[in-house]
Amino acid sequence: MKKYLVTGCAGFIGTNFVYYMLKKHRDILLVNLDKLTYAGNPANLEGIGNDARHIFVKGDICDPELVSSLFGKYDFDYVINFAAESHVDRSISDPGVFVRTNVNGTFNLLSKAKDAWCDAEKNVWREGKKFLQVSTDEVYGALGKDGFFTETTPLDPHSPYSSSKASADLFVKAFHDTYGMPVNVTRCSNNYGPYQFPEKLIPLMINNARLHRPLPVYGDGMQVRDWLYVDDHCRAIDTVCSQGKPGEVYNVGGHNERTNLFIVKTVIDVMREKLGDGGISENLITHVADRPGHDRRYGIDPTKIGRELGWYPETSFEDGIVRTVDWYLDNTGWMESVTSGAYLRYYEENYGSRRKLTADKGFSE
């Protein structure tokens, strides 16, 4: 039986990864560690039921005693580190939290994995162990109109969020280069799909459109992102974990580059068709002041993971966006439960205080 420590399991990608792994693999044990901050929702995992292959632990990846105790109790084969503060806007308003979780937390996990897996006197690592850091294409910075990020693109993060993720990636690299720890880093483009917290673009637009609320779009909305359906990302992580060459970075992308404005308009079209609601229209789009340091374009080149490991995206954007809208419309109770209280206060602070862009790209108060 392969035993995994999966951190951040109650978040968006972590949740989908847990369901994917339990469906695909029979003889595994997933010990899932999550602090259950605003984006970690225990209700995400209710569909697992009493599956004995899944053990949930509420706790902080920055807690050295807790992490050590888990390694001692379960003797993990793999660590899959999803746990991270991940929203750029929040990192701008409170960068210290991102340093604590994304940098210090990753360092703590690396340290405890090293203690458990390496004979310090002989500097010999136990066979069959691996630490996989789930990162982001945002560590590369911004692209021009042409070209793509490759694994050798220099890191050039522009936000506190991407800087904290780049720092964590470098610690993972250092543990491999200095101590010989078996590691991989995956850097993925924008994910979308079920269970994503509605501060992110697609679920935010779905929820607001459903309620006929304004659809806030930063600046002119022409920022370009490469979109990947979350199930394809989960399959990539599983593939890299089992087949990736230790020490290597693998970029994961879908070759689905779209502007933010295109995404918003697509959500409008799909929802209007699904609901037959004429109130869901482009009239809801509200251009607001752009956020500081907003990267213009990301684009991932996934050639390496395809060539070396045989992974390719299987879900087209056209299919994935319909499946995503369907999930949120079928799970309005889930959406309502996570968009109350603190979320509403954050939403008003982030979007309500921004000046509205007028048609001539000027600002109105």
pTM of the model: 0.89
In a domain, 261, yes or no: no
Which phi and psi (to 5°) does residue 250 adopt?
Answer: -130, 120
Choice among 4, 78, 140, 161 that is catalytic: 161
| 77 in catalytic set | no
In a domain, 91, yes or no: yes
pLDDT band at 348 (very low <50, low <70, confident <90, very high): low
| 137 in catalytic set | yes
Q: What is the CATH number of the domain that holds 171?
A: 3.40.50.720
Residue position matching structure tokens 């991940």: 86
| Alpha carbon distance 164, 156 (integer Å) | 12
User: What average pLDDT score do residues 132-141 get?
Assistant: 94
Burial 135-166 (b: 16+ CB within 10 A, else e): bbbbbbbbbeeeebbebebeeebbbbbbbbbb
What letter represents residue 246's amino acid? Answer: P
Rounded to a whole number, what is the largest CA-CA distance in the chain? 70
Quote the pLDDT of residue 349: 61
Whole domain around residue 124: which residue ranges? 2-192+228-252
Choice among 34, 85, 137, 199 that is catalytic: 137
In a domain, 13, yes or no: yes
| 312 in catalytic set | no
Q: What does the DSSP assignment read for 60-120? A: -TT-HHHHHHHHHHH--SEEEE------HHHHHH-HHHHIIIIIIIHHHHHHHHHHHHEET
Quote the pLDDT of residue 316: 95
| Alpha carbon distance 256, 192 (integer Å) | 12
In a domain, 88, yes or no: yes
Quote the pLDDT of residue 89: 76
| Alpha carbon distance 27, 110 (integer Å) | 25
| Alpha carbon distance 24, 279 (integer Å) | 41
pLDDT at 347 over 70: no
Question: What percent of the chain clears pLDDT 70, i.e. is strictly above it?
Answer: 92
In a domain, 281, yes or no: no
Choice among 34, 138, 231, 295 that is catalytic: 138
In a domain, 48, yes or no: yes
Sign, CA dihedral 332-335-339-341, equals positive
Residue-wise pLDDT for 254-263, tens only, equals 888 999 999 9
How many structural domains does the chain have?
A: 1
Q: Calculate the average pLDDT of the chain.
A: 90
* Count of CB atoms situated within 10 Å of the CB of 332: 13
Quote the pLDDT of residue 358: 43
In a domain, 57, yes or no: yes
Residue-wise pLDDT for 147-177, tens only, equals 899 999 999 999 999 999 999 999 999 999 9
Count of positions (residues) in the chain: 365
Give the torsion through C-alpha atoms of 249, 236, 26, 66, to 10 deg.
50
pLDDT band at 63 (very low <50, low <70, confident <90, very high): very high
In a domain, 353, yes or no: no
